[in-house]
Amino acid sequence: MDSCISKQSRIAITGASGFLGQHLVKALTNAGYTSLLCPTHGDYDLSMPNDVRRFYSEMRPQIVIHLAALVGGIGANQSHPAEFFYSNASMGLHLIEQGRIAGLTKFVCVGTVCAYPKYATIPFTETDLWAGYPEETNAPYGLAKKMALVQLQAYRKQYGFNGIYLLPVNLYGPGDNFDPSSSHVIPALILKCQRAINAGEEFIEVWGTGSASREFLYVEDAAKGLMLALERYNSGEPVNLGSGQEISIRDLAHKIAVLMQFNGKINWDISKPDGQPRRCLNTQMAEREFGFKASTSFDIGLANTIEWFRKNYDPGSGGVK
């Protein structure tokens, strides 16, 4: 384990109540970490510098794991590009600067696969991160998160600040966001199938052509990868976190329909964007640098996600409890 980290280190996790955050807190707790600090948005608005200064003053963390983000699917990114840029850029900017002033021993920043160029070579390798502009529908979000990498590398060079930057691919699993206004593709498809079944509808409608591809990482695997990076990685170079497996949106939709026992048609709304044409990560660096390799098969991960959804689905509201 990194000498600056112990099981008693005061570790603050921004976004601890979110999807990945809840699984990371559980993983760290199970691993014996005893001083986890979990600020909420109600406690501190991390896009505001005064709140960030107060966060460091009151919580006195030694390590920060920055998960908090304003996130959403293609529709949300298209509708709120300015908010996605400002909120995410501000959080990274202030947390890193004030963390440097507070004397943090380590800053773990979780970026996004949306930072990669639209037409990056498949599989995406960390050295290709600056080889082009991100896909337009989520570029403001992707670039805002990418600026944290630039800041961390600059702070490492000038101040010796120990900040690391991880690039997870699309996450999924139990506890995912099933709000149709902001959810990503897997929970959105699960919810569409359930609502169609309940309403006796003969089809569901899905954005795009179905030709785009995505890679998915089970959230418990992502939490394990984060914990390993926290304990073992101290370099300024970004690192991908993924499963290394790619699936088309068309195949994904059919797979979920079968698992949900929805027997209707899938209609493709080609007037809507596909988003980035392909996403698939080269995951060799994470395995080489800190021993992380995803272990949950996609079929098992999907089955677990659907099982959790069914236990928490509320037919009355049409959403999860």
Q: Residue 266's beta-bridge partner residues? A: 204
Query: What is the C-alpha to C-alpha distance for residues 302 and 207, in angstroms, rounded to an integer?
Result: 20
Is residue 141 annotated as a catalytic residue, yes or no? yes
Q: Which residues of 186-223 are buried (b: 16+ CB within 10 A; e: fewer)?
A: bbbbbbbbbbbeeeeeeebebbbebebbbbbbbbbbbb
With a CB cutoff of 8 Å and minimum separation 6, the contacts of 209 are: 250, 268, 270, 274
Query: What is the C-alpha to C-alpha distance for residues 187 and 177, in angstroms, rounded to an integer?
Result: 7
Catalytic residue chosen out of the listed positions 56, 141, 165, 233: 141
Respond yes or no on whether the N-terminal peptide bond of residue 187 is cis (omega within 30° of 0): no
With a CB cutoff of 8 Å and minimum separation 6, the contacts of 136 are: 118
Provide the 8-state DSSP code for 291: -
Q: At what angle do helices 139-159 and 81-102 cross, to 10 degrees?
A: 20
What count of residues does the chain have?
A: 321
Q: Does residue 156 contact residue 162 with C-beta atoms inside 8 Å?
A: yes
Q: Does residue 10 contact residue 38 with C-beta atoms inside 8 Å?
A: no
- Catalytic annotation, residues: 141
